[in-house]
Amino acid sequence: MPKKRSAPTVPKNPLEYTDPKFWHDFHNIRQDFEWYGTLNDHFQVFEKKIKPTDAILNIGCGTSQLEFQLSEKGFHNITNIDVDEDVLKKKRTQAAKLLDSQMVYDCCSADNLPYEDNRFDAVIDKGTMDALLPVESVPENCRVFVNKMLSEIFRVLKNQGHYILVTLAQKQILKELYDFTNNNPNLVVRVVPNEIKQDDKFVSTVVIDIVKFPRSFPSIPNWRLSVENRVVEKTRDEICGILDSFFQLSRFSNMCKKRLEHLVTITLSLNIPEYEDSDVKVTVADTEKHRNTIKTHHFIIVPPDSFDKIYNRSQSVFQSMPSLLKVDRVVILEFPFDDVDIARSFVNNFADHFSSSDCEGRPVIATLSPEENSTTIASGTGEICGGYFVVESICDDKTFRRLYFKSSSNIIQSECTIGKTDSGEVRFNHQELCCNYQSAMVSAFGFVPGGFAEVQSRGWNIAVLGVGGGSLISFLHATLPKATITAVEIEPELFNIAHEYFGMPNDDRVKCVTMDAMEWLKDVNSGVYDMLFIDISNPKEQIDEKHVLYGPPPAFVTEDSIKKMKGHLTSHGCLFMNIISSSKKYLNVIQREVAVLFKYILSATVPELAVNNNYILFATCEKPGKPSTENIPSTLLTYQSLSKTFTQVELGVYKEPKGESKK
């Protein structure tokens, strides 16, 4: 008896998906396969868009049982099309056996539909467009076909009808839909990430619902994103970024179904109204004992550090947790807030994503205890910053000295590591940055023409607006031996703290200016610099209906203020800006303002464990260099790898200055 052939679900060449012959062979062998799940996996989205009385067109039905699953839920007026007549014959026979006489099957191509205008209330496409555009580099005739197909779909669709596309939402799919809807402003799009489970694996499907209106509505955003029953307006790039995170979570979750050989980490957007645009960092540690199954799990919540509570976040501690707790797996979640109830709710909702296939019982949830080796060595009150604390903490045999403001005690304002000399005197390690955002700022040196080696060898003139505990200034002083630095700070007490408790140098290479940074920018006599670092924020102000740190304050990111910053830079000068925000919209606003005056912009996201995020922006009018490891001093080698996190921002709004002489 001949052995039954099995059709490959994934062909060797993805372009085979565009060939009707592949599908003919596939359908002859695989008649029980559902691409992207069943109707039940998506019905919570579908039922909001279609009614049982609707006339529905099912594009590229193949051997999917979608129309019969709809019929079971009371939808009977369904027309199904495919280019394979053999498949349709089998479907007609199946419909007759089910006594579903209203089911229609037509053999035709989606780019030339044989129906009158405004015929259908809904058009459903489960995977057909994905098959037509399987990769970014498809032949041009595939794109032409898809464009004709979309035109035909919206021709036969009634006004206020829905085109419902179940897709993996790859870049080429989104681009085609963006281009088409931009040319047809009467179409309104809602994107709904809809993760499904097949054979204990997570599959990141997306339901895209496009509604046809008789006219365009300028007040309605063309594209919207639906997450957790909330609809929000997003740009194309923002939607792509959110979907990328959505896909990464599914891949990460599938990896966690088996035993892990080492620590794995992912950063997720919380999508919680109180902390929108904030992230949680998830680390999964499995027992080092060789076990085939991972059954027992604990989930550990880690709140943010504060001046009186410091948490040990070292990898060695995380890796040792399964052994200490005598379980197979520990999932550590580092939250940007100390609301344990919200954190527990998040864990309960997502526990399955970080659990193995062999997980037994409900998740055990606990909160990490803070380090006991923390001591407040100084405190006081500044005229501007208010109350402050200087704390020493020991983690992983390292002693950290940290500055906190009482108004935002969960955020480290400045940090350095210290040691002791043989005589017991404090020794500051100024050649190492502890704060993630400062490390990211310094990593942008890789984009300065000549890179890290050039930065260290030349006598740069640098201005830093915002001192804190002086850790960035101390680092620049230690690693750039020929540089001169002007430090500008409105709070006089911070200079005292920086010198006394953080060892900030006080020599002829560092000039300390006690002055409002805005007044310094306005003063043309403040000088001209090769590098300008902006690291300022208000202690706390209400932005986006939240009391959070925000920086730079809005007054510093107007076109006039950016122009003043550029006025203090040489023609080859570089701007480094630390942006703190509870919303990425603020970053987008700043990027657009800076892009008007600076030809090249790069930005990076720095996940900080606070109620907000850090973004680093690098801007210059000279073409950025490409970061290289060649000739990098050992003191800067650590920071070179971080330059890979930067992406170039291209907004097309730069205004070439006319008749401007180079300084």
Q: Name the residue among 100, 54, 106 with its Cα closest to residue 80.
A: 106
Q: Which of 330, 352, 367 is the last residue of a domain?
A: 367
Q: Name the residue among 281, 193, 284, 209 with its Cα closest to residue 46.
A: 209
Q: How confident is the model at residue 263 (pLDDT cuts 50, 70, 90)?
A: confident
Residue 556's φ and ψ, nearest 5 degrees, are: -85, -10
Cβ within 8 Å of residue 490, ≥6 positions away? 384, 514, 515, 516, 517
CATH number at residue 229: 3.40.50.150
HSE-CB at 54 with a 13 A cutoff on CA atoms is 26
Q: Is residue 572 part of a domain?
A: yes
Q: How confident is the model at residue 160 (pLDDT cuts 50, 70, 90)?
A: very high
DSSP 309: B
Q: Name the residue among 467, 506, 460 with its Cα closest to residue 490.
A: 467
For the packed helices 20-29 and 85-97, what is the interaxial angle rounded to 10 degrees?
A: 40
How confident is the model at residue 460, as a pLDDT? 93
Q: How confident is the model at residue 197 (pLDDT cuts 50, 70, 90)?
A: confident
Q: Are residues 351 and 277 in the same domain?
A: yes
How confident is the model at residue 500, as a pLDDT? 95
Residue type for position 91: K
Task: Decide if 319 contacts 340 (C-beta within 8 A).
Answer: no
Instruction: Look at residue 7 and tell me whether its pLDDT is greater than 50.
Output: no
Q: Are residues 491 and 615 in the same domain?
A: yes
Q: Are residues 85 and 171 in the same domain?
A: yes
Mean pLDDT for all residues in the chain: 85
Q: How confident is the model at residue 385 (pLDDT cuts 50, 70, 90)?
A: confident
Among all chains, which residue has been given the structure tokens 């992207």?
Answer: 36
Distances from the Cα of 663 to the Cα of 530, 563, 573, 655, angstroms: 11, 15, 10, 19
The whole domain housing 379 covers 374-429
Q: Are residues 359 and 464 in the same domain?
A: no
Angle ∠(451,454,460) on CA atoms, nearest 5: 115
How confident is the model at residue 539, as a pLDDT? 52
Q: How confident is the model at residue 449 (pLDDT cuts 50, 70, 90)?
A: confident
Sign of CA dihedral 511, 514, 518, 521: negative
How confident is the model over 145-150, as a mean pLDDT?
A: 95
Cβ within 8 Å of residue 328, ≥6 positions away? 286, 287, 291, 293, 294, 295, 296, 297, 322, 356
How confident is the model at residue 138, as a pLDDT? 85
Q: Which of 178, 202, 235 is the last residue of a domain?
A: 235
Q: Are residues 482 and 405 in the same domain?
A: no
Instruction: Look at residue 27 and tell me whether its pLDDT is greater than 90.
Output: no
Determine the length of the chain.
Answer: 663
How confident is the model over 264-288, as a mean pLDDT?
A: 81
DSSP 358: T
Q: Is residue 8 part of a domain?
A: no
Q: Name the residue among 503, 353, 337 with its Cα closest to residue 429.
A: 503
CA–CA gap between residue 576 and residue 445 (Å, rounded): 10
How confident is the model over 379-386, as a mean pLDDT?
A: 90
How confident is the model at residue 6, as a pLDDT? 47
Angle ∠(573,575,581) on CA atoms, nearest 5: 175
- What is the pairing mode between strands 201-212 and 157-167? antiparallel
The tokens for 275 are: 């902390």
pLDDT in tens, 50-63: 999 999 999 999 88
CA–CA gap between residue 285 and residue 303 (Å, rounded): 18
Instruction: Look at residue 108 and tell me whether its pLDDT is greater than 80.
Output: yes
CA–CA gap between residue 492 and residue 515 (Å, rounded): 9
Q: Is residue 545 part of a domain?
A: yes
At CB < 8 A and 24+ separation, what contacts does 109-116 make?
109/83, 110/59, 110/60, 110/81, 110/149, 110/152, 110/153, 111/145, 111/148, 111/149, 111/152, 112/148, 112/152, 113/57, 113/81, 113/152, 113/153, 113/155, 113/156, 115/57, 115/79, 115/156, 116/156
Instruction: Look at residue 610 and tell me whether its pLDDT is greater than 60.
Output: no
- What is the pairing mode between strands 364-367 and 297-302? parallel
CA–CA gap between residue 567 and residue 404 (Å, rounded): 33
Q: Are residues 360 and 379 in the same domain?
A: no
Q: Is residue 578 part of a domain?
A: yes
Residue 212's φ and ψ, nearest 5 degrees, are: -95, 130
User: What percent of the chain stands above pLDDT 90?
Assistant: 43
pLDDT in tens, 67-98: 999 999 999 999 999 999 999 999 999 888 88
HSE-CB at 380 with a 13 A cutoff on CA atoms is 14
Instruction: Look at residue 269 and tell me whether its pLDDT is greater than 80.
Output: no
How confident is the model at residue 420, as a pLDDT? 86
Distances from the Cα of 229 to the Cα of 15, 194, 277, angstroms: 36, 12, 16
pLDDT in tens, 498-531: 999 999 999 999 999 999 999 999 999 999 999 9
Q: How confident is the model at residue 219 (pLDDT cuts 50, 70, 90)?
A: low
Residue type for position 94: Q
Cβ within 8 Å of residue 431, ≥6 positions away? 475, 478, 479, 635
How confident is the model over 123-137, as a mean pLDDT?
A: 91
Overall domain count for the chain: 4
Instruction: Look at residue 346 and tell me whether its pLDDT is greater than 70.
Output: yes
Task: Decide if 225 contacts 191 (C-beta within 8 A).
Answer: yes
Q: Are residues 335 and 424 in the same domain?
A: no
Q: Is residue 32 part of a domain?
A: yes
More confident residue, 288 or 621: 621
* Sheet of strand 426-429, all strands in order from the earlier edge strand to the far edge: 374-382, 386-395, 398-405, 412-420, 426-429
| Range with lowest mean pLDDT among 234-243, 270-279, 392-401 | 270-279
Residue type for position 416: C
* Most confident stretch, 122-131, 245-254, 261-270, 419-428: 122-131
Q: Is residue 663 part of a domain?
A: no
Q: How confident is the model at residue 661 (pLDDT cuts 50, 70, 90)?
A: very low
Give burial (CB, 10 Å; 0-12/13-18/19+) of 21.
exposed
CA–CA gap between residue 146 and residue 153 (Å, rounded): 10
Q: Are residues 267 and 353 in the same domain?
A: yes
How confident is the model at residue 534, as a pLDDT? 96
CATH number at residue 278: 3.40.50
Q: Are residues 224 and 316 in the same domain?
A: no
CA–CA gap between residue 448 and residue 316 (Å, rounded): 35
Q: Which of 367, 390, 406 is the last residue of a domain?
A: 367
Q: Are residues 187 and 299 in the same domain?
A: no
How confident is the model at residue 228, as a pLDDT? 61
Q: Is residue 49 part of a domain?
A: yes
How confident is the model at residue 648, as a pLDDT? 82
* Most confident stretch, 8-17, 66-75, 525-534, 605-614: 525-534
CA–CA gap between residue 540 and residue 548 (Å, rounded): 5
Residue type for position 642: L
Q: Is residue 7 part of a domain?
A: no
Q: Are residues 564 and 497 in the same domain?
A: yes
Q: Are residues 620 and 556 in the same domain?
A: yes
Instruction: Identify the three-state secondary structure at position 227.
Output: strand
Q: How confident is the model at residue 583 (pLDDT cuts 50, 70, 90)?
A: low
Instruction: Look at residue 434 and tell me whether its pLDDT is greater than 80.
Output: yes
